[in-house]
Amino acid sequence: MSEFDQELDVRGLNCPLPIIKARKVLNGLETGQILRVVATDPGSVKDFEAFAKQTGNELLESTEGNGEFAFRLKKG
């Protein structure tokens, strides 16, 4: 079993596109499913924290490495 149900690659996109695309994918997921997002925009860290709080989705993990940021969001 993988650690996520769907993956979204938004590398090279800047705010607000990663959030817009993530919202669209999350809308298609079932409650409790997990979306993994990979981004390169440093601003996405704060964006996804705020997005999770505002939308009732849970930010399970936020990691950074090699200029990339990965997030795991659980649909609320």
Point out the catalytic residue in the list 13, 15, 29, 59.
15
In angstroms, the CA 35 to CA 41 distance is 18
| Domains with residue ranges and CATH for the chain | 6-74 (3.30.110.40)
Residue 15 bears catalytic tag: yes
pLDDT digits (tens, 9 = 90+) for 6-61: 999 999 999 999 999 999 999 999 999 999 999 999 999 999 999 999 999 999 99
Instruction: Report the Cα–Cα distance between both ends of the chain, in Å, rounded.
Output: 20
CA dihedral (13, 17, 23, 29) in degrees, to 10, reads -30
pTM of the full predicted structure?
A: 0.94
The alpha carbon of residue 15 and the mean position of all alpha carbons in its chain are separated, in whole angstroms, by 12
Report in angstroms the alpha-carbon separations of 75 from 14, 18, 49, 65, 66. Answer: 23, 16, 14, 24, 27
